[in-house]
Amino acid sequence: MEYLTNFFLPSAESTYAANVDALFHFINIVSLILLVGITIAIIYFAIKYRRKSQEDTTPLITHNTTLEVTWTVIPLILILIVFGWGFNDYVEMRTPPANSYEVYVESFSFGWNFEHPNGIKESNNLTVPVGTPVRLIMRSRDGDVLHSFFVPQFRLKQDLMPNRNTYAWFEAKNTGQFVYFCTEYCGGGHSMMNGTVTVLTAAEFDEWNEEELGRDLDALPLAELGRLVYQQAGCQGCHSVDGSSRVGPTLQGLYMREREFTDGSTRIADEDYLIESILYPQELVNVGYPNNMPNIYQQTLSEREVLGLVEFIKELQ
Amino acid sequence: MEATTNGNGKTLKVRYFDIEENPETHYLNAEKGIKSWLFTVDHKRIGIMYLASIAFFFLIGGILALVLRTELLTPTENLMTAEQYNRVFTLHGAIMVFLFIIPSIPAALGNFLLPIMLGAKDVAFPRLNLASFWIYSIGALFTLASLAVNPIDTGWTFYTPYSVQTGSAVILMTFGVFIMGFSSILTGMNFIVTIHKLRAPGLTWGRMPLFLWAMYATSVIQVLATPVLAITLALLIMERTLGIGIFDPALGGDPVLYQHFFWFYSHPAVYIMIVPAFGVISELIGTFSRKTVFGYWAIAMSSLAIAFIGSLVWGHHMFVSGQSELSTVVFSFLTFFVGIPTGIKIFNWLATMHKGSIDMKTPMVYACMFLFLFTIGGVTGIMLGAISVNVHLHDTYYVVAHFHYVMMGGTVIAFLGGLHFWWPKMTGKMYNEFWGKIASAFIFVGFNLTFLPQFIMGSQGMPRRYYSYIEQFQTMHQLSTYGSYVLGVGFVIIAVYLAHSLVKGAQAPANPWGARSLDWMTSSPPDQHNFKYQPVVSNGAYDYHKPMADFTLGIAEDPAHHGHDDAVKVEAEKAEIR
Ligand code: HEM
Ligand SMILES: [Cu+2]
Ligand SMILES: [Cu+2]
Bridge partners (DSSP) of residue A108 are: A111
pLDDT tens digit string along B272-291? 999 999 999 999 999 999 99
Give pLDDT, residue B73: 93
Alpha carbon of A136: minimum distance to chain B alpha carbons (Å) = 13
Bridge partners (DSSP) of residue A67 are: none
The answer to whether residue B12 scores a pLDDT higher than 90 is no
In this structure, the number of other CB atoms found within 10 A of the CB of residue A52 comes to 8
Residue B56: asked if its preceding bond is cis (omega within 30°), the reply is no
Q: Sorting pLDDT into bands at 50, 70 and 90, what band is B257?
A: very high
The answer to whether residue B1 scores a pLDDT higher than 50 is no
Q: Summarize the confidence of residues B321-334 as an average pLDDT.
A: 92
Residue B386 is nearest to which of A7, A23, A152, comparing CB atoms?
Answer: A23
Separation of alpha carbons A42 and B374, rounded Å = 13
Task: For A2-49+63-94, give the CATH class.
Answer: mainly alpha
- Cβ atoms of residues A279 and A306 within 8 Å: yes
Task: List A residues 146-205 in contact with B (Cβ-Cβ < 8 A).
Answer: 146, 148, 150, 152-153, 155-159, 161-164, 166, 179, 181-192, 194
Those residues whose C-beta lies under 8 Å from the C-beta of residue B575, and which sit 6 or more positions away, are B6, B8, B9, B204
In CATH, which superfamily holds the domain spanning A101-213? Cupredoxins -  blue copper proteins (2.60.40.420)
The answer to whether residue A157 scores a pLDDT higher than 90 is yes
The answer to whether residue A118 scores a pLDDT higher than 80 is yes
pLDDT tens digit string along B474-486? 999 999 999 999 9
- Cβ atoms of residues B527 and B548 within 8 Å: no
Q: Does A10 touch chain B (CB under 8 A)?
A: yes
Residue A8 is nearest to which of B321, B385, B456, comparing CB atoms?
Answer: B456
Ligand 1 environment, Cβ below 6 A = B 62, 65, 68-69, 89-90, 92-93, 96-97, 100-101, 155-156, 400, 404, 407-408, 412, 450, 464-466, 484, 487
Contact A191 B468 (CB under 8 A): yes
Which of A199-208, B74-83, B491-500 is predicted least confidently?
B74-83
Residue A82 is nearest to which of B336, B460, B545, comparing CB atoms?
Answer: B336
The answer to whether residue B8 scores a pLDDT higher than 70 is no
Give pLDDT, residue A295: 78
pLDDT tens digit string along A168-219? 999 999 999 999 999 999 988 899 888 899 999 999 999 999 888 877 777 7
| The dihedral sign for the CA sequence B459, B463, B468, B471 | negative
Q: Residue B451 sits in which domain range? A: 3-19+28-577
pLDDT tens digit string along B117-160? 999 999 999 999 999 999 999 999 998 888 888 889 999 999 98
Task: List B residues 69-88 in contact with A (Cβ-Cβ < 8 A).
Answer: 76-77, 81-83, 86
Ligand 1 atom 30: the closest Cα is on which residue? B96
Q: Summarize the confidence of residues A93-117 as an average pLDDT.
A: 92
Q: What pTM, to 2 d.p., does this model score?
A: 0.88
In this structure, the number of other CB atoms found within 10 A of the CB of residue B211 comes to 27
pLDDT tens digit string along A237-274? 778 888 877 778 899 999 999 999 988 899 999 999 99
For residue B389, give the nearest of A91, A14, A89 by alpha carbon: A89
Residue B298 is nearest to which of A68, A156, A184, comparing CB atoms?
Answer: A68
Mean pLDDT taken over chain A: 90
Q: Sorting pLDDT into bands at 50, 70 and 90, what band is B577?
A: very low
Q: Which atom of ligand 1 is nearest to the CA of B155?
A: 41
Give pLDDT, residue A229: 86
Separation of alpha carbons B489 and B172, rounded Å = 33
Q: How far is the CA of B97 from the centre of ligand 2 (A)?
A: 23
Domain count, chain B: 1
The CA angle B334-B340-B343, to the nearest 5 degrees, is 145
* Closest residue, chain B, to A240 (C-alpha): B76
Considering only residues A144 and B442, tell me which one the structure prediction assigns the higher pLDDT.
B442
- CATH number, domain of B160, equals 1.20.210.10
Ligand 1 atom 37: the closest Cα is on which residue? B93
* Closest residue, chain B, to A181 (C-alpha): B463
Which of B10-14, B161-165, B292-296, B454-458 is predicted least confidently?
B10-14
The domains of chain A are located at: 2-49+63-94, 101-213, 217-314
The packing angle between helices B210-242 and B111-118, to 10°, is 140
DSSP secondary structure code for residue A14 in this structure: B
The string of DSSP codes covering A218-266 is GGS-HHHHHHHHHHHSSHHHH--SSS---SS---TT-TT-EEEBTTS-E
Looking at CATH, the fold of the domain delimited by A217-314 is given as Cytochrome Bc1 Complex; Chain D, domain 2 (1.10.760)
For residue A227, give the nearest of A289, A295, A310, A287 by alpha carbon: A310
pLDDT tens digit string along B160-211? 889 888 888 888 888 999 999 999 999 999 999 999 999 999 899 999 999 9
pLDDT tens digit string along B496-549? 999 999 999 899 999 999 899 999 999 989 999 999 889 999 889 999 888 888
Q: Which residues of A touch B320 (CB under 8 A)?
A: 148, 157-159
Q: Does B245 touch chain A (CB under 8 A)?
A: no
pLDDT tens digit string along B287-308? 999 999 999 999 999 988 998 8
Distance spanning both ends of chain A, measured CA to CA:
48
- Cβ atoms of residues B303 and B279 within 8 Å: yes
Give pLDDT, residue A116: 93
- Cβ atoms of residues B536 and B555 within 8 Å: yes
In this structure, the number of other CB atoms found within 10 A of the CB of residue A99 comes to 8
Count interface pairs A-B at CB distance under 8 A. Answer: 270
Alpha carbon of A275: minimum distance to chain B alpha carbons (Å) = 25
Give the CA distances from residue A212 to residues A116, A179, B159, B421, B534, in Å, rounded to whole numbers and listed in that order.
11, 22, 39, 71, 88
